[in-house]
């Protein structure tokens, strides 16, 4: 990762601190809803059912639990798209056993990047 990307990341983080609580919650909800719409689109494209996830809470403290539950359900549905043979090969070759945040295997690592802190980002550069 290049230095300009780290600078942009830091500037974005600084801007986040200037938001009001309601703006932060709205931003978090919009990002998470977009993430889950992407999951839904993939599942619909492959004609698979989408998980039923209850509506998002309006309280920040509950939002993280809701996101964790929804992510677990969507990842389970996405992994069902892969043939069992492929899943076994990924496990043997890379240690991949499903979605594990901050795991260093090549399946989880790209999806973890947005949640890394400054020190972890610098390590990757």
Phi, psi at residue 120, to the nearest 5°?
-70, -40
Per domain, the residue ranges of the chain are 3-124
Q: Are 57 and 63 in contact (CB under 8 A)?
A: yes
Q: What is the pLDDT of residues 77-110, one digit of tens each?
A: 988 998 999 989 988 988 887 877 777 777 766 6
Note if the pTM is more than 0.85: no
Structure tokens at 6: 């780290």
35-50: burial string, b at 16+ Cβ within 10 Å, e else: bbeebbeebeeeeeee
Under DSSP, is residue 16 helix (H, G, I), strand (E, B) or coil?
helix
């Amino acid at each position: 990762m290049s230095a300009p990307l780290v600078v942009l990341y830091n500037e974005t983080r600084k801007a986040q601190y200037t938001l009001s609580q309601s703006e932060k919650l709205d931003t978090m909800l919009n990002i998470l809803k977009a993430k889950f719409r992407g999951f839904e689109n993939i599942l619909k494209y492959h004609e698979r059912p989408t998980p039923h996830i209850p509506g998002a809470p309006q309280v920040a403290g509950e939002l993280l639990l809701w996101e964790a539950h929804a992510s677990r359900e969507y990842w389970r549905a996405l992994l069902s798209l892969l043939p069992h043979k492929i899943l076994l090969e990924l496990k043997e070759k890379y240690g991949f056993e499903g979605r594990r945040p901050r795991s260093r295997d090549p399946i989880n690592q790209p999806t973890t990047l947005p949640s890394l802190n400054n020190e972890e980002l610098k390590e990757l550069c």
